[in-house]
Amino acid sequence: MTKSTRTLRILAATAAGALLLAGCSSARATHQATPEAIPAQPVVAAALNDKCDDGLPAVASIDPQGASLNPSAWPEKSTMAEVRESGKLIVGVAGDVTLWGAREPGSKDLRGFDIDVANHIADAIGPKVQVEYEVINFADRLPRLKNGDVQLVAHTMTMTCERWFGSKAKPDEFINFSTEYYRAGQKVLVRSDSKATKLADLEGQTVCAATGSTSLASLEGTGVVQVEVGDVGECLVRFQEGEATAITGDDTVLAGFVDQDKYAKVVGAPLTDVPYGLGIAPDDYDFTRFVNLVLEQMRADGTLDGLYDKWMKGKSTKQPVPKAVYGRQQTALEKRG
């Protein structure tokens, strides 16, 4: 299998410029899967069972039927064709989420589960394609896709109906999602000597979550004092400085915090199930199908299962690799907004 060089561009929200960094290589996929429609798998959390405007759950995506890994079969103006020609795929990622998207101490390379997934997507487009990573915060994930700053978002992003079809507050802010590639769970992080075992035990106390996250939205009506920050990594700073008693977020993110702070622990059962999808521009249907085809391949050859073992083994409860749920129609999505 071939290796491809990666280029990293770190664009923090407050940074005035970009820092180009050499990235890690990844193995290129060597065969094409033949996807078939797969029925929706049972889910526990009510949020995953809720129906969107088209009557389908948030985890449903567009069937990759007709998509191909063969460049000669791609539409001339498709994202895949343009990326292969330019040699660059621009991906929005986290820069401070250990295990998913972060720089290791003493290194300029971004590493993590989402970084590896993005590399596989690029490798499927072409062996000479470089990935240009833009570090963005939670709140910028949808806007940066909508305005074309990035072509893909791999950023521990929860699939929700509001993100598929827009919300009452932001009816014009919506994107496409790939199929689900990881199932996380929202939990709570507290100090190692805390007696709290669940969110309810923190009533009246300060709990940190990031702007634009589903974790922040879930704090409404719980009786805790919300500490809202722009980047999820800021929650760890607030926690360590005593400005937040606890942090709530995906168990994937909290596992990275525990890696960095030996005086922290994650407690309780998941508050919600959290399905991760790759974000894609709302009108980019060909690329959505292509990404879903690549994810089918990664399920079939064990790549997604292997990424769990590489990054999350022993750090979170292992769940089966999520099966693809299809049925979302381009015709319904074209009516958004």
pLDDT digits (tens, 9 = 90+) for 99-129: 999 987 777 889 999 999 999 999 999 999 9
**pLDDT, average across residues 282-295:** 98
Q: What is the pTM of this model?
A: 0.82
Closest CA to 48 of 304, 331, 319, 334: 319
Residue 166 and residue 47: Cα distance in Å, rounded?
16
Domains and CATH numbers, the chain: 6-181+277-333 (3.40.190.10), 185-267 (3.40.190.10)
Torsion (CA) 239, 191, 260, 131 in degrees, nearest 10: -60
- Per-residue pLDDT reduced to its tens digit, 71-107: 999 999 999 999 999 999 999 999 989 999 998 777 7
Q: Indicate the residue type of 234.
A: E
Q: What's the chain's average pLDDT? A: 86
Residue 250 and residue 248: Cα distance in Å, rounded?
7
pLDDT of residue 333: 97
Of 39 and 330, the structure prediction assigns the larger pLDDT to 330
Residue 97 and residue 99: Cα distance in Å, rounded?
6
3-state DSSP call for residue 144? Answer: helix
CB 99 within 8 A of CB 259: yes
Which two structure tokens, joined as six digits, stand for 21?
């960094």
Which residues fall within 8 angstroms of residue 314, CB to CB, at 6 or more apart?
none
| pLDDT at residue 20 greater than cutoff 70 | no
pLDDT of residue 258: 95
